[in-house]
Structure 1
Amino acid sequence: MSDPVVIVGASLGGLRTAEALRRSGYAGPVTVFGDEPHAPYNRPPLSKDVLAGGEVTHAAVAFPQRAATADVLWRLGTRIGSADLERRRVRTADGEEVGYRALVVATGLRPKRLFPRTAALAGAFALRTLDDAGELSAALTPGTRVVIAGSGFVGCEVAATARQLGCEVTVVGSSGLPMLGPLGEALAEDLMERHEQRGVSFHMGTHVAEVIGRDLVEGVRLADGSELACQVLVEAIGSVHNTEWLSGNDVDADLGLRTDSAMRVLRVDGSPWPDVFAVGDVARFPNAIYGDTPASIEHWNIPTETAKRAGRVLALQLAGDPGLADAVAERFAPIPSFWSDQYDIRLLAYGLPALADRVELLAGRRGEDCVYGYFVGAELVGVCGIGMRSEVMRHRDEVSRYGQLPIGETD
Structure 2
Amino acid sequence: MSNLEQLYRTLDERKRPEDVAEMIVVLLGDGLTVNEKKNLERVAQGSLSKKIGGYTSMLQTFASAKGAGQQIEKAIELFQLDTHVQSDYNRADDIEAFIGLASSIIHKPVGQNDFTADRLNKVQRAANNLDLSKRNYNKKWRLLKRIEKKLQTFIRESRKISFQKAGKHGLAGMISLEDFSADPDTACFIAYYNARCNLRSVFTNQSQDRPYDEICDLLLNRCRRQPDRTNWWAIAHLYTSAEVLSRLSEGQKGQLLGKWTSLLEDIAALLDEVWQSSRINLQTMVVKRGDDSTTWNNTAAAWNKARDHWMHLVYASGMEALLDDICFGKVLRLMAADVVAWHAAGGGKLDPNTAVWNKLPLPWEVFRGKESCTKEQVTRYCREAGLDPEKSGWIAPRIHGVTAFRPTPELVHGVAIANPFLATVLKQQKFFSGKGLKRPDPGTNPVG
TM-score, with normalisation over the residues of structure 2?
0.24
- Pick the structure with more helix per residue: 2
As a proportion of its length, which structure holds more strand? Answer: 1
User: Looking at CA atoms only, which structure, 1 or 2, has the larger radius of gyration?
Assistant: 2
